[in-house]
């Protein structure tokens, strides 16, 4: 097992997104490796929901050789008992998945949501920031961090895109101390 964090692109081949994930992983001051592109598992798709099971992507990440393995995809993922997730992780584990699908402002463009008429550059910057926040959040779970009650903390729970946008990019003092105690 490598001591590095490994990024595993699953069905996504967008260098700018992979770069954003790489930058987010650097938050944890660790070496980063990037695996080759992996196809989306055919059994991951739930035709009735027209979404993909997050657990299928977690299984791919679990097979990674890094200390922490981050699967990144652009398809819409879900977990048990919820309509969708931005990401999912094994608490105290080595695997997590992040989906960019609902982090993209274009997802909300047709429902009057977050696409408020700002220019493409602003939307792109918002998208990249969301990807970074959720990457840090899910890696935090792999280190054993739970959801935080501080709405500004990157570890705060985000049931919708508004909460992702409202939280910061950093751990609050309490979560930061919890993370330091693990090392």
Which fold would CATH assign to domain 5-181?
Collagenase (Catalytic Domain) (3.40.390)
Range list of H helices, the chain: 15-25, 54-62, 120-142, 161-166, 173-181
Question: Contact at 8 Å (CB) between 60 and 36?
Answer: no
What is d(CA 97, CA 86) in angstroms, rounded to the nearest whole number? Answer: 9
What is d(CA 158, CA 170) in angstroms, rounded to the nearest whole number? Answer: 15
What is d(CA 100, CA 17) in angstroms, rounded to the nearest whole number? Answer: 8
**Residue 163 confidence (pLDDT) above 80:** yes
What is the pLDDT at residue 115?
46
pTM given for the model: 0.92
Catalytic residue among 23, 138, 162, 177: 138
Q: pLDDT tens digit string along 9-21?
A: 999 989 999 999 9
What is d(CA 142, CA 69) in angstroms, rounded to the nearest whole number? Answer: 9
Active site residue 129: no
What is the pLDDT at residue 4?
85
Q: pLDDT tens digit string along 20-44?
A: 999 999 888 888 888 888 999 999 9
Biggest distance spanned by C-alpha atoms of the chain: 46
Question: Could you tell me the pLDDT band of residue 62, with boundaries at 50, 70 and 90?
Answer: very high
């Amino acid at each position: 097992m490598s001591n590095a964090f490994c990024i595993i692109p699953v069905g996504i081949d967008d260098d700018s997104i992979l770069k954003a994930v790489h930058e987010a992983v650097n938050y944890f001051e660790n070496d980063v490796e990037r695996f080759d592109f992996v196809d989306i598992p055919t059994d991951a798709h739930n035709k009735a929901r027209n979404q993909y099971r997050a657990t299928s992507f977690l299984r791919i990440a679990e097979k990674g050789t890094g200390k922490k393995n981050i699967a990144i995809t652009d398809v819409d993922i879900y977990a048990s008992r919820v309509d969708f997730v931005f990401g999912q992780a094994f608490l105290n584990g080595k695997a997590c998945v992040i989906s960019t699908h609902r982090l993209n402002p274009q997802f909300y463009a047709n429902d009057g949501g977050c696409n408020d008429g700002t220019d493409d550059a602003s939307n792109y910057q918002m998208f990249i920031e969301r990807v970074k926040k959720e990457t840090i959040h899910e890696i935090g779970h792999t280190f054993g961090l739970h959801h935080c009650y501080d709405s500004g903390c990157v570890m705060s729970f985000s049931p919708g895109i508004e909460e992702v946008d409202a939280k910061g990019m950093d751990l609050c003092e309490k979560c930061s101390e919890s993370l330091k105690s693990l090392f």
